[in-house]
Each structure stands twice: as C-alpha cells, then as structure tokens.
Chain A
Amino acid sequence: MNLLLGSFTIGLILALLALGVYISFRIFNFPDMTADGSITLGAAVAAILLVHGVAPIGATLAGAAAGAAAGAVTGLLHTRFRINGLLAGILVMTALYSLNLHVMGRSNVPLLSTATLAKEAEAIGLAALGGQTVFNCFGWEVSVSDMAMLVFACMAVVVVCIGLYLFFRTNLGTAMRATGDNPQMIRALGVNTDTMIVIGLALSNGLIALSGALLAQYQGFADVQMGIGMLVWGLASVIIGEALVRSRGLAMTIVGAVMGSVLFRLMVAIALRWGLNPNDLKLITAVFVFVALILPGLTARIQRRKEAVVMSSLTSK
C-alpha cells in the first residue's frame, strides 16, 4: 500500500513535469531539452532557500520562477539568435548544470531538518485527524504523512490543470496554441510568434521547475543529478496519456498527461518491485518512448499492407 501511495504521489508531482513537456513538445512542437536542467534548478533554488529559512511556499514559487527564467533564456536563444531549438535547449541545460552546483554549493542538499511543504502537509493532516499517525483507509493501515502529501500533490495538480485549461482558452493562450499549430497563419493574423515561444517555454519550464521543487521536498533532498533523463520521462507520460484518452481536445490531453504520468510511475514501481535493475531504468524509458513514437506509423503501414493484400486478392478473383 505504501508503494502504491508513494507511486501515486511521485506520479502526481511529476505530472507537473509532464504538463510542462506537453506545452513545449505538443503545443509548441519544440523538443525542449532545458527540462533536464530546469527541474534540477527548481529543486536547487527551493532547497537552498528552505535551508536558509525561507517559508516553504515562497521557496517553492521561487524555484518555479527560476525555471521560468531558464525557459525564457532558451526561447530567446532560439528566437533572437536563430539557434536550432534542440541546441538552444541543450546549451541552457548544460549551463544549468554548473549553475545548479553554484546555487546549492555542493552536489546534494538534504532537507531533513528544515521546514518543507511535505512537513506542513503532514502537520495539517495530523491536526485534521486529531494526532493519530496511522489511519484506516479501506482496510489498509495508511500513514497520515504519506496520505497528506498525496492529497497535497493532488490538489496542486488539479489547480495547475484548471489554470492551464483556462489559460489556453484566453486570447493569449489561443494565440500560443496557434503558434505551435501554424506559425505562418498566426503571424498573418498579427501575432509575434517569437514572443509566444519565449512565454510558452517560460511557462513550460516554470511548471517543470515547480515539479522539481516539490519532488525535492517530498524525497527530502535536492541533487544535481536528479534531472538527467527527465525530458524523456515527461515525454513518456505525455505519450501514454495520449494513448489513454485518444483525443486531441485541450481538456482531455491535459488530463491525459496527468494520468500518463501516474500510470508510468506505477509501472516503473511495479517493474522495480519485480526485480528490474534500477540502472536499466533510463534505458527502458528511452526504449519505451522510441517504441511509442514509431508504433502509430508502423501499425498504419501494416494496416495498409493488409488492405493491399486484400485488394489484390479481390482483384485477382
């Protein structure tokens, strides 16, 4: 049960990462490698501020803001200096590795003795349940601290989802979606696509950094290595989500990204429980994304071939 709760919690926290990747990768059609650096940046900034006694909510938001700034830099490199989008992201990601070390001062910052959102959530949970540390949930003994964090992550994700959904229905949000869908058309309608890309990448990386800040507080430390492979992780979540909801509608794809993230985390937890070597995790994730990316084209081709065979057999008769 604890495994399940933990997977759900991490899945929900990483859903913010998935939503960020969804914005850059799906809405803007921009493979933004900044993600690997900005998730760590969010964690690093939040962690160091927490260590220095800043209130958890302020530290978390500061982490998100730092990520947004990193995303804006990637956007500016791409739009102002016409650097290939993939390379712009890699440049910022690489620079962020050093920057993150500087922010943290060392490669790992533990948060065991500082106030964090996780501990605040736990305190609220304990107060709500009158101080008992374990309660009965549908027949399972569940620790209040785990449950409180899950509820908190769930609320954060719901707020972000609703916010994103509403935002993408405003004039600005609609113009952003059109920028990814058909830049030529939206320029002819008077929108500066460069500005849209910069704002969009800032939003995307802000969410990714927020995810990093929450993750650091949940697991109790920020580590300079924690961002490696996170873009692919987010991508896997988005792809699973699209397969789950099978819709291109705005609301459904946002919900899909969250569902994909939780499901993917669950699958990973089960695979690890079954004895998957943790060292193989990134390899398996990459292979999974590879398969998910080529599968639609492959099935279409097989379908066509089948139809061709049927057609030729019909005509030969």
Chain B
Amino acid sequence: MLKIKGLQKTFNAGSPDEVQALRGVDLHIEGGSFVVVIGSNGSGKSTLLNAVAGGFLPDAGQIKLAGRNVTRWPEYRRAKLIGRVFQNPFSGTAPHMTIAENLALAAHRGQAHGFGWALSRHLRQAFCERIRALAMGLEDRLDNEIGTLSGGQRQALTLLMATWLKPRLLLLDEHTAALDPKTADQVIHLTKAIVAGEGLTTLMVTHSMHQAVNLGDRLIMMHQGRIIRDITAVAKKRLRAEDLLEQFNEVRRAEQLDPGTAEMLRALYV
C-alpha cells in the first residue's frame, strides 16, 4: 500500500540550524497492516509522517501510495488517499464552525467542492448516528461550534472525520499526546475499533511505550532519521514494555560513543 524508498530530508540546509531529519528511510507497508512508529524526540518519526502526508517535499527518495507515485503531489491532492489526525486537538477541526459543518467537510474529503449544499438532511442523519456511537453526548450538539468542545471530544471527532470516507492510509501523529490519560484511553479504544472495523492501513506515531506494545501488528523504531528496528508478526505480539525500554537503552549506549565512531562501528559490524 505504502512504499517509501530512500527518503531524505534536511531542514535549513547549509545554515547552523541544519537538521538532517530523514537520512534515507526505506519502508514498505502492506495493505491492512497497523504500523506503530516510536523513537525519541528528534528521531524523525513525525517528519516521516509529515513527508507521507505531503507537508513538505523530500530532498531525495520516493513515496508510492496505493500504486501511485505521490512524491511530488501537494498535500491537498494526497488527501484523496490519506486520512489524518494531528497531535494538537486544535489542528484537526475548524473551531468556529459547527460539528455538522466540520463533518460535512470531511464527508467531501478529496472531492471537488462545488455549489451543492454542504449539509443535507441525509448527511445530518448519518452524522447523528455515528456521533451517538461515540457515547460522548454530542449527538444533540451538531450545531454547536467545535471550539466549545474538550480536546478529547475534538480528537474523537477528528478521528471520525479522517475515516468518514475510507482512506487508503490513516496517519495518526501522536494523536493522544495532548490528552489526559483517561481521555487518551477512550480515543485509543475508538482508534482500535475504527481501524479494525474498517480494516484500515494505519501508520501511527506515538510516544507511549504502552501504546507501542499494545497496538498494531508491526513496530518501527526510529533514531536520528533512520529506521533502526522493525519488529513484525510474532515478535511484535510477544513484545513487552521492558523489551522496548531495553532497546531504547541500547540505542542510548551506542550514542555515548561519538557519532563518527558509532558510524564506523555500524559500518563494520552491522
């Protein structure tokens, strides 16, 4: 479904703030699989997600999605294939528009926006049913501005919006990081239910060890703009939080060496 080859991106190239965010990422995701990406701050995991979504154009490499080469596609064009939930609950919804209007925009994701009415009785009915299933008491507030809702409610709605039209790829960018633990749990439950229910191909970035261990069928660990671990199938199922911490510590120990030596050792022994 998603094929990434040799993806590279350097921000602020040539300046003192130069950051090599992606240093050649290769990733192949099968249709229907749920991939979780972890890594420390600055490892490039969010950058990878952003590159797939089209937030910027890569310096080198190729991104193929659903058989199409989307490397040069602008973000809005990729939205036909991609549903997306952001880390910040404020990013995924238009605060001064109503719940129904936000959902109506999502119901037209990637389609031409013409002079048809954005909201129809039929659509409102459908919104009402799906929102009732969230059990958040929002079904009677379809005409309230989304800005009046809590972060968790907005994130749940964003998830609903991202998947309203079945996306070929669902991108989740630490979408529970800004929520309190209880709300985060609710949103994760909802995520599981939607991903499993629709059989969505999903790429999810997270900070949480707990989520990394319990969610998905494949785990990718990133470090300094590269994928350093790729844990699949049975190994992923057996994975415990302690193993993950051990892996992290291993990476950290390697980092104690200066980058040049580490690079040399890697070249020699890995």
| B and A form one assembly | yes
Residues on A lying within 8 angstroms of B by beta carbon are 167, 169-175, 177-178, 181-182, 184-193, 248
| Residues on the B chain within 8 Å of A192, using CB | 74, 76
Task: Answer yes or no: B174 CB below 8 A from chain A CBs.
Answer: no
CB-CB under 8 A for A169 and B74, given A181-B97, A188-B92, A248-B145:
no
With the chains together, A201 CA to B183 CA distance in Å? 40
**Residue of B74, B86, B101, B113 contacting most chain A CB atoms (<10 Å):** B113
| B61 CB → nearest A CB, Å | 22
**Residue of B76, B104, B114 contacting most chain A CB atoms (<10 Å):** B76
With the chains together, A192 CA to B113 CA distance in Å? 10
With the chains together, A177 CA to B104 CA distance in Å? 13
Chain A at the B interface: SS class:
helix
Question: Could you give 27 example pairs across A and B, Cβ below 8 Å?
Answer: A169-B118, A171-B108, A171-B116, A171-B117, A175-B108, A181-B94, A182-B90, A182-B93, A182-B95, A185-B91, A185-B92, A185-B94, A187-B76, A188-B82, A188-B162, A189-B105, A189-B106, A189-B108, A189-B109, A190-B79, A190-B80, A190-B108, A190-B111, A191-B105, A191-B113, A192-B74, A192-B76
| Residues on the A chain within 8 Å of B115, using CB | 167, 170-172
Q: Are A181 and B96 in contact (CB under 8 A)?
A: yes
Residues on B lying within 8 angstroms of A by beta carbon are 53, 74-77, 79-80, 82, 84, 86, 90-97, 101-102, 104-106, 108-111, 113-119, 145, 161-162
Q: Which of A172, A189, A248 sits near B96, CB closer than 8 Å?
A: A248
| Residues on the B chain within 8 Å of A181, using CB | 94-97
CB-CB under 8 A for A178 and B94, given A188-B75, A189-B161:
yes
Q: Are B91 and A184 in contact (CB under 8 A)?
A: yes
| Residues on the A chain within 8 Å of B80, using CB | 190
Chain B at the A interface: SS class:
loop
| Residues on the A chain within 8 Å of B118, using CB | 169-171, 173-174
CB-CB under 8 A for A185 and B117, given A174-B101, A175-B105:
no
Q: Are B105 and A182 in contact (CB under 8 A)?
A: no
With the chains together, A170 CA to B114 CA distance in Å? 7
| B109 CB → nearest A CB, Å | 5
| Residues on the A chain within 8 Å of B109, using CB | 189-190
| A128 CB → nearest B CB, Å | 35
With the chains together, A291 CA to B139 CA distance in Å? 40
With the chains together, A191 CA to B79 CA distance in Å? 8
| A134 CB → nearest B CB, Å | 45
